[in-house]
Amino acid sequence: MTVNKEIKSNLAKLLAMENIVVEHRNVETASFDVENRVLTLPMWKYASEDVYDMLVGHEVGHALYTPNINWIADRKIPPQFVNIVEDVRIEKKIKQRYVGIVKNFNRAYKELNDRDFFQIAEEDLEEMNLADRANLFFKIGDYVNIPIEEGEEMEIINMISECVSFDDVLDASEKLYTYCKYEHSEKEDISVDTNLLSDLGNSVPGDVESESCDSQEQEDSDNYQVQQSDLKQQPAQSEKSSTQEEDSSNEPEVKTMDSFDEALKQLICSIGTENVYLEIPDIDVEKIIIPNSEIHKNCDHQWSFDEDDGEYVKTRIKANLETMDLEYEKFKSSAKREVSYLIKEFECRKSADAYARASVSRTGVLDCSKLHTYKYNEDLFKKVTTFSDGKNHGLVFVLDWSGSMGRVMLDTIKQLYNLIWFCKRSSIPFEVYAFTCEYPIYDDDGMRDRAYEEKHGLLEIHQCFSLMNIFTHKVSSKTLDHQMKNIWRIATTFSTYTEVPVPLGMALSGTPLNETIMVLNKILPKFRKENKLQKVQCIILTDGESQGLRYHVNIHDYAKMGEITLGRRAVKNSCIVRDRKTGKTYSLDVDWNKQVDVFLRYIRDNQPDVNFIGFRLLEPRDAGSFIRSYCGYYGDVHDKTVSDWRKNKSFTLSCSGYHKYFGISANAVSDKTEFIVPEDATKSQIKTAFMKSLNSKKTNKKILREFVELIA
């Protein structure tokens, strides 16, 4: 069974009781950076749930209880001996702190013992040194009989078990090491004596009669003394030639620790690419947002004529602008019905919620109209009903200003204007932003300044990325109407290719939707605070997915003698976005068109009180593939969504990164809803026109009703 690494990361953070950074990388052993609070875990792909939990708990124990001090300079103890004792201490502490993890430890060590991770199946445990036996005693002593002698060995075991501080660990480790070294030297001496006796047996004659002459006995004695002298001198000569080899051979080894570490590597999946952990930069939004006044100042300047302009140009452009303005006024008049319907639904929804939150309480004053019922009614007191105050609402709109929106831009603007007029009449604060990579912003050097400090491991925000604040509630109604007329002109130019010049920086560009969501994480809290709002809605109107992302990375520039420089790389499936604030991670191991959903989940976790609503305009040929990307190829959800699309030319999704994702046919939006028929129309023509108008209104009302349910 595949282990969910995000769940195990959250487990580590919960055990540590702090927002530590957990990274899964292609490393052989786990480690913890005490200074930066980063826990690095190997890719234990082949570990069971219990083993994974045990390993995570073990490493968190080190993170919590193992101090970051240099003890090697003060204590001449091999690290393996300290590791054995420290493992006992930290595992004991983590079990005492979280009683529920004890079973995971027990089951995990039993499983690892059954798989012979300590490689003791063919070993004689009595021949192992005390360090190995102590390691086995505290890890698998419940399942294997580990021989521990009474006396000094049991005293050392008890000393290890009773360690509380790291100083206790060092003391117990030193005693364990000293005992094992003495034990090892004893075995070495026994081995030397055995070899000596073997040599002596070969040198002394086997058949010596008791009657042998004294001279022969003396000769044998002299030979023995010579051989003994040679054996004593041989180590000294060897020490002079290879002191380091003798010292290492005299050191006791901890075989079970090495065997366990090697066996753990079998659980690691070394195949595949290394995880790349990325973070969203701290963005200065003031360098991203183009002020509302600047945008419309450029619009007014673009459509003002100089004396140098030719008469033909003036006449032609003025005529086109006048036609656009008339169309705007006509749409504004026809949209009053939809806006009134929105307001009606909104007020009804607010009233229903207010009654739902109403509380009834007794006043303590007798109700005289009920006194005659005192024999069968205990409730004779007057009551008062208290209604909770309604919520303060605010809306932030994000408009896709990309090239693919050209044909449907005017239809999208119509939907947006309905919502803006609704906000204006309901006194709801709002801001409207359009994302682009075309707006020119330059500093004194002719270059655009970054909105954040570039560092290794940060996602890149496109240097030309901007959010144009095209509308705001802060202006007067007259000014807003003038600004809406400006954007109407531009949208009409995109949709009809009319000969009207587009203001500088307002041309359609790429689709930096991912960058927009990152910046919204800063904009939404500020908008909420400035307007003292309780409930904020973020509506994104788009027709496609975001463009690709890059991230900053340190690279070795071999052309400059290996100097490290800051480069860029494309985001790939092995990239993981990390949020230090919430402690969550978000894998980008998705199709490129689903990256938007990843960043939507990111911002939803950061802004839990904000509703994110998507409006997606779809060409009829694209609807099927879009529905399948979220609903699959079959099933109840798929069938219902397809049915809604065929019947209403719209549908609503709840399985995307948005709270609600509205899919609307671009053709249906552009259809006229007016009930217009010629004077000499037949009954059949009148019926057809009426049904068409009714269906269009039905579609609009269905979408608007669902929208109001979200924002009320």
How does DSSP assign 425-483, residue by residue? Answer: HTT--EEEEEEES------TTSSPPPSS---TTBBPPPTT-EEEEEEETTS-HHHHHHH
CA dihedral 546, 550, 551, 555 (to 10 degrees): 170
**Hey, how many other C-beta atoms are within 10 angstroms of the C-beta on 670?**
14
Distances from the Cα of 409 to the Cα of 566, 666, 698, angstroms: 39, 10, 23
Q: Which two tokens stand for residue 57?
A: 């708990």
pTM of the predicted structure, to 2 decimals? 0.69
Contact 77, 173 (CB under 8 A): yes
Three-state secondary structure call for residue 26: coil
Residue (of 489, 540, 453) closest to 317 by Cα position: 489
CA 155/CA 634 separation, integer angstroms? 68
Q: Label residue 325 exposed, middle or buried (CB < 10 Å: 0-12, 13-18, 19+).
A: middle
| Structural domains present in the chain | 7-201+219-267 (no CATH), 285-299+393-441+458-673 (3.40.50.410)
Q: Write down the H helix ranges in 532-615.
A: 595-606
DSSP letter at 274? P
At 136 the pLDDT is: 93
Compute the half-sphere exposure of residue 344: CA atoms within 13 Å on the CB side of its CA.
Answer: 8
Pairwise CA distance, residues 28 & 205, whole Å: 59
- Residue 68 CA, chain-centre distance (Å), reads 29
Identify the CA nearest to 398 among candidates 495, 518, 481.
518
Instruction: Identify any residues that bridge with 613 across adjacent strands, giving them in sequence order.
Output: 539, 660
Distance CA 177, CA 158 (A): 15
Only one residue has tokens 């191991």, namely 589
Which residues have a Cβ under 8 Å from the Cβ of 603 and sit 6 or more positions away? Answer: 517, 518, 520, 521, 524, 610, 612
Number of neighbouring beta carbons within 10 Å of residue 425: 15
Please list the ranges in the chain whose pLDDT falls under 50.
Answer: 1, 192, 196-246, 352-358, 386-390, 671-677, 683, 686-687, 690-691, 693-694
Q: Which two tokens stand for residue 149?
A: 């002698």
Query: What residues contact residue 350 under an 8 Å CB cut-off, 6+ apart?
Result: 390, 712
Nearest to 424 by CA among 379, 478, 375, 465: 478
Vertex 69 angle, CA 64 and 75, to 5°: 120
Rg (CA), the chain: 40
Residues 30 and 41 sit within 8 Å (Cβ to Cβ):
yes
Strand segments (E) across 227-315? 276-278, 289-290
Q: Are 452 and 461 in contact (CB under 8 A)?
A: yes
Q: Where are the alpha helices (DSSP H) in 98-165?
A: 102-114, 130-140, 152-161
In the three-class reduction of DSSP (H, G, I as helix; E, B as strand; rest coil), residue 34 is classed as: coil
Q: How far is CA 87 from the centre of its chain?
A: 31
Here the tokens at position 171 are 């003391």
DSSP, res 253: -
Residue listed under structure tokens 């040679």: 230
Helices (H), 116-213: 130-140, 152-161, 166-203
Q: Tokens in use for 93?
A: 């502490």
Structure tokens at 345: 């639904």
Return the residue matching tokens 């002459």. Answer: 213
Strands 393-400, 381-386: pairing is unpaired
Task: At 539, list the tokens.
Answer: 């509506």
Residue 511 corresponds to which tokens in the numbers above? 């689709």
For residue 129, the number of C-alpha atoms closer than 13 Å in the C-beta half-sphere is 22
DSSP 678: -
386 φ, ψ (degrees, to nearest 5): -110, 130
- Give the type of residue at 172: A
The per-residue pLDDT for 170 is 93
Q: How many CB atoms lie within 10 A of CB 203?
A: 11
Give tens-digit pLDDT for 550-595.
999 988 777 776 688 888 999 988 899 988 888 788 989 888 888 9
Instruction: Point out which residues pair with 276 in neighbouring strands.
Output: 575
Amino acid identity of residue 660, one-letter, is K
Burial class (CB in 10 A: 0-12, 13-18, 19+), 312: exposed
From the list 300, 321, 302, 328, the residue with the least C-alpha distance to 502 is: 302
Nearest to 81 by CA among 152, 126, 129, 41: 129
Place of tokens 């003698």: 561
Q: How many CB atoms are closer than 10 A to CB 281?
A: 20
460: exposed, middle or buried (C-beta count within 10 Å: 0-12, 13-18, 19+)? buried
CA distances from 220 to 196, 215, 225, 232 (A): 16, 9, 9, 19
